[in-house]
Amino acid sequence: VLFFVTNVKAQTYTPTLENLKAREVFSNDRFGLFIHWGPFSIPGDGEWVMNNRNITVKNYRRLMDFFNPIDFDAAAWVSMAKNAGMKYITLITRHHDGFSMWNTKYSDFNIMNTPFKKDVVKLIADECHKQGIQLFLYYSLLDWTREDYPHETGRTGQHTGRKGKGDYASYLQFMKNQLTELLTNYGTIAGIWFDGYWDQTAPEGTVDRSPRINWRLDEIYGLIHKLQPRCLIGNNHHLTPFPGEDFQMFEKDLPGQNRSGLSFQQPSQQLPLETCETMNNSWGFNITDTSYKSVKELIHYLVNAAGRNANFLLNVGPMPNGKIQPEFVYTLQEIGQWLKENGKTIYGTKGNIVEPQKWGVITAENKKLYVHLLNVTENETYIFTPDLKEKIISASTFAGGSKVKFKQMHEGTFIYLDGIKTNDTDTIVQLNIQ
Ligand code: FHN
pLDDT tens per residue, range 219-264: 999 999 999 999 999 999 999 999 999 999 999 999 999 888 888 8
ipTM more than 0.90? yes
Q: Which atom of ligand 1 is nearest to the CA of 252?
A: 9
What is the pLDDT, as a whole number, of residue 8?
47
Q: Residue 129: is its pLDDT beyond 70?
A: yes
Ligand 1 center–CA 306 separation, angstroms? 22
Burial (CB < 10 A; 0-12, 13-18, 19+), residue 84, is: buried
What is the pLDDT, as a whole number, of residue 279?
98
Q: What is the C-alpha to C-alpha distance for residues 274 and 242, in angstroms, rounded to an integer?
A: 16
What is the pLDDT, as a whole number, of residue 200?
84
Ligand 1 center–CA 138 separation, angstroms? 10
Ligand 1 center–CA 48 separation, angstroms? 9
DSSP assignment of 120-164: HHHHHHHHHHHHT-EEEEEEES--SS-SSS-GGGSSS-TTTT--S
Residue 388 banded pLDDT, cuts 50, 70, 90:
confident
Question: Is the C-beta atom of 47 inside 6 A of ligand 1?
Answer: yes
Residue located nearest, by CA, to atom 1 of ligand 1: 196
pLDDT in tens, 331-377: 999 999 999 999 999 999 999 999 999 999 999 999 999 999 999 98
Average pLDDT, stretch 10-23? 90
Question: Is the C-beta atom of 283 inside 6 A of ligand 1?
Answer: yes
Residue 159 banded pLDDT, cuts 50, 70, 90:
low
Residue 5 banded pLDDT, cuts 50, 70, 90:
very low
Residue 382 banded pLDDT, cuts 50, 70, 90:
very high
Mutate to test the pocket of ligand 1, among 49, 155, 236, 276 (most ligand atoms within 8 A of CB): 236
Ligand 1 center–CA 252 separation, angstroms? 10
Q: Rounded to the nearest 5°, which phi and psi values hold at 286? A: -135, 110
Q: What mean pLDDT is reported for the chain?
A: 93
Q: Give me the CATH topology for the region 360-433.
A: Immunoglobulin-like (2.60.40)
Query: Which residue in 153, 240, 201, 219 sits closest to 8, CA to CA?
Result: 219
Query: Which residue in 328, 383, 355, 343 sits closest to 254, CA to CA?
Result: 355
Q: Residue 44: is its pLDDT beyond 90?
A: yes
What is the pLDDT, as a whole number, of residue 2?
42
Ligand 1 center–CA 292 separation, angstroms? 18
Burial 310-345 (b: 16+ CB within 10 A, else e): bbbbbbbbbbbebbbbeebbebbebbbebbeebebb
> Is the sign of the CA dihedral 22, 73, 118, 94 positive or negative?
positive
Q: What is the C-alpha to C-alpha distance for residues 31 and 89, in angstroms, rounded to an integer?
A: 9
Question: Is the C-beta atom of 274 inside 6 A of ligand 1?
Answer: no
Class of domain 2-345: alpha beta
What is the pLDDT, as a whole number, of residue 153?
55
Enclosing H/E stretch for 6: helix 2-6
Instruction: Enumerate the CATH 2.60.40.1180 domain ranges in the chain, comma separated.
Output: 360-433
Q: Which atom of ligand 1 is nearest to the CA of 142?
A: 1
Q: Residue 7: is its pLDDT beyond 50?
A: no
Mutate to test the pocket of ligand 1, among 93, 197, 251, 278 (most ligand atoms within 8 A of CB): 251
Question: Is the C-beta atom of 276 inside 6 A of ligand 1?
Answer: yes
pLDDT in tens, 210-221: 788 899 999 999
Question: Is the C-beta atom of 385 inside 6 A of ligand 1?
Answer: no
Ligand 1 center–CA 36 separation, angstroms? 9
Instruction: Enumerate the CATH 3.20.20.80 domain ranges in the chain, comma separated.
Output: 2-345
CA geometry: angle 316, 321, 326, nearest 5 deg? 50
Ligand 1 center–CA 422 separation, angstroms? 37
What is the pLDDT, as a whole number, of residue 363?
98
> Is the sign of the CA dihedral 338, 339, 343, 348 positive or negative?
positive
Q: Which atom of ligand 1 is nearest to the CA of 92?
A: 6
pLDDT in tens, 53-98: 989 999 999 999 999 999 999 999 999 999 999 999 999 999 999 9
CB of 429 within 8 A of CB of 413? no
Q: Residue 11: is its pLDDT beyond 80?
A: no
Average pLDDT, stretch 291-309? 98
Residue located nearest, by CA, to atom 9 of ligand 1: 251
Ligand 1 center–CA 223 separation, angstroms? 24
Beta strands in 260-299 (DSSP E): 273-277
